[in-house]
């Protein structure tokens, strides 16, 4: 049997150790050329050697996936520090947060970085999802990676949700009470699910311990695993989505080396994100209310902001619809996005076509107008919960408004499709925009335009 013998390197000990770490660098003719040895190292094995030129353009992806990765790293780092001091018991949790903020050098700052990274991460992931959708990054061969991405998004939302309770202040306690309270409206399974999540009938010691364990062990491990899977599928799909070219032209596509063209751009984005979060956290403190008091509910009490759209929905339609039917349909629809029959599998172009772009503007305008009109109409003209006493509540305040609220989408879509003689890609895109904007408007309304007793109010009013 013949084996290739690599010549051993002579020289000082440190040099020899250094060369043994950088595997491959001792091969003849490669030393001093990072472009050649980088792909041989483990870290950069995630990357091809060269990528299409379009893929490195910043406005093609806006670096959102990379930003999310950087924020998750910041969260792991600061989370580990916080975990060294935090005590997950109701009589100690709030005091340990105070101790982190007042007694530990930079403790306040570290908590701020953790808090803001987590909140910015949700926004960045939302934008990343929009980027992938609007550049058609969910078509073959990236179909399943869209689903993996959705799972990651849900894991991150769960992390934000479980982390929300840990400070054990009034804000945390009542936000989690309200959002788990929504489960009461889920028929059959709801009560059981609520009891499991709360670890009892009310938010208490069992809930805090469970949330802590899930937040600091189960979810981070899950995010690592699913995240690696996500990256691996990106690599296997040939990197980020770029416009398809005919097979014979594929070989002549202009390509650019990953090092330095892509890696340096990524490094810049990472440094800007880190700098922004660190500086922002130095000036703006994470909120901390009074210690949780189960006997004293604040007015108004609101769910965490990323779920607040459903709380707004709860004010307008029957609970079974706002906490079960609509969220399940929405989530199911999002998971099925890659598996709809499309007219064409065209990716890599923002908003698909000029037609798609124009339809999108109509969809945004319609969704804003329709949602705002619905909220204001419900508040001032016609209250479904009391207007139709002769009908059973599930129909009168559930089915009927749900049909009116959600029925608008298909009607609007048909009209739009005919007006623009759109294909199925453009139609699905318009519907997607319509629903996304609707949820954003609901979120903004409940977050900033609801005051005492959850009545409509200006954000700047008392």
Q: Which spans of this chain sit near other proteins (rule: CB under 8 A)?
A: 174, 177-178, 180-182, 184, 195-196, 198-202, 204-206, 210, 294-301, 314-315, 319, 385-386, 393, 453-455
Cα–Cα distance between 32 and 47 in angstroms, integer?
20
Cα–Cα distance between 13 and 19 in angstroms, integer?
10
* Dihedral angle sign, alpha carbons of residues 24, 28, 34, 36: negative
* Dihedral angle sign, alpha carbons of residues 48, 50, 52, 55: positive
Query: Is the backbone peptide bond immediately before 300 cis, with ω within 30 degrees of 0?
Result: yes
Going by C-alpha positions, the residue among 316, 294, 1, 348 that lies closest to residue 142 is: 348
Cα–Cα distance between 372 and 368 in angstroms, integer?
6
User: Which of 59/386 has CB closer to other proteins?
Assistant: 386
- In angstroms, what is the minimal distance from the CB of 238 to other proteins? 35
User: Which of 217/335 has CB closer to other proteins?
Assistant: 217
- In angstroms, what is the minimal distance from the CB of 23 to other proteins? 38
User: Which of 130/385 has CB closer to other proteins?
Assistant: 385
Cα–Cα distance between 115 and 127 in angstroms, integer?
19
User: Which of 36/87 has CB closer to other proteins?
Assistant: 87
Cα–Cα distance between 304 and 31 in angstroms, integer?
53
User: Which of 94/310 has CB closer to other proteins?
Assistant: 310
Instruction: Say if CB 116 and CB 131 are below 8 A apart.
Output: no
Residues whose CB is less than 8 angstroms from the CB of residue 82 and which lie 6 or more positions away in sequence, other chains included: 100, 110, 111, 114
- In angstroms, what is the minimal distance from the CB of 118 to other proteins? 24
- In angstroms, what is the minimal distance from the CB of 449 to other proteins? 15
Cα–Cα distance between 90 and 224 in angstroms, integer?
29
Instruction: Say if CB 314 and CB 323 are below 8 A apart.
Output: yes
Query: Which two structure tokens, joined as six digits, stand for 183?
Result: 């489960």
Farthest-apart Cα atoms in the chain, separation: 93
- In angstroms, what is the minimal distance from the CB of 311 to other proteins? 8
Write the DSSP symbol of residue 7.
Answer: P
- In angstroms, what is the minimal distance from the CB of 134 to other proteins? 35
- In angstroms, what is the minimal distance from the CB of 378 to other proteins? 12
- In angstroms, what is the minimal distance from the CB of 261 to other proteins? 47
Query: Which two structure tokens, joined as six digits, stand for 149?
Result: 């991405």
User: Which of 25/322 has CB closer to other proteins?
Assistant: 322
User: Which of 245/455 has CB closer to other proteins?
Assistant: 455
- In angstroms, what is the minimal distance from the CB of 396 to other proteins? 13
Task: Tell me which H or E stretch contains 8.
Answer: none
Tell me if residue 459 falls in helix, strand or coil: coil
User: Which of 24/204 has CB closer to other proteins?
Assistant: 204
User: Which of 181/239 has CB closer to other proteins?
Assistant: 181
Cα–Cα distance between 38 and 236 in angstroms, integer?
19
């Amino acid at each position: 049997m013949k084996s290739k013998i690599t010549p051993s390197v002579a020289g000082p000990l440190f040099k020899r150790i250094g060369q043994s770490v950088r595997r491959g660098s001792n091969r003849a003719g490669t030393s001093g050329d990072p472009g050649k040895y980088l792909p041989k190292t483990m870290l950069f094995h995630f990357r091809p050697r060269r990528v299409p030129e379009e893929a490195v353009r910043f406005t093609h992806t806006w670096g959102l996936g990379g930003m999310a990765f950087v924020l998750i790293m910041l969260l792991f780092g600061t989370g580990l520090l916080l975990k060294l001091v935090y005590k997950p018991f109701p009589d100690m949790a709030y005091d340990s947060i105070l101790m982190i903020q007042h007694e530990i050098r930079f403790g306040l700052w570290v908590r701020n970085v953790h808090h803001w990274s987590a909140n910015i991460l949700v926004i960045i992931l939302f934008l990343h999802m929009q980027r992938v959708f609007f550049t058609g990054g969910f078509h073959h061969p990236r179909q399943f990676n869209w689903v993996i991405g959705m799972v990651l998004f849900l894991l991150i939302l769960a992390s934000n949700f479980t982390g929300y309770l840990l400070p054990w202040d009034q804000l945390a306690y009542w936000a989690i009470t309200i959002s788990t309270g929504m489960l009461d409206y889920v028929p059959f399974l709801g009560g059981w699910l609520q009891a499991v999540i709360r670890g009892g009938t009310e938010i208490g010691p069992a809930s805090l311990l469970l949330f802590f364990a899930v937040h600091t062990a189960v979810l981070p491990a899950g995010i690592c695993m699913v995240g690696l899977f996500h990256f691996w599928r990106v690599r296997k799909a040939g990197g980020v989505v770029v416009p398809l070219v005919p097979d014979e032209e594929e070989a002549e596509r202009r390509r650019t080396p990953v090092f330095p063209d892509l890696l340096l751009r990524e490094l810049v984005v990472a440094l800007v994100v880190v700098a922004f979060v660190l500086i922002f956290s130095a000036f703006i403190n994470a909120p901390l209310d009074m210690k949780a008091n189960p006997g004293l509910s604040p007015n108004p009490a609101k769910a965490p902001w990323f779920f607040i759209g459903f709380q707004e929905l709860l004010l307008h339609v029957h609970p079974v619809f706002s906490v079960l039917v609509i969220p399940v349909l929405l989530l199911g629809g999002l998971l099925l996005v890659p598996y709809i029959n499309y007219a064409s599998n065209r990716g890599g172009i923002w908003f698909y076509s000029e037609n798609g772009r124009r339809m999108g503007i109509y969809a945004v305008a319609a969704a804003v107008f329709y949602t705002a009109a619905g909220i204001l109409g419900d508040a001032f003209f016609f209250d479904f919960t009391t207007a139709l006493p002769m009908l059973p509540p599930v129909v009168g305040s559930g089915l009927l408004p749900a049909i009116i609220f959600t029925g608008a989408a298909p009607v609007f879509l048909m009209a739009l499709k005919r007006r623009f003689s759109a294909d199925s890609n453009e139609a699905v895109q318009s519907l997607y925009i319509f629903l996304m904007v609707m949820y954003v408007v609901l979120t903004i309304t409940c977050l900033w335009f609801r005051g005492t007793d959850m009545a409509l109010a200006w954000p700047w009013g008392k």
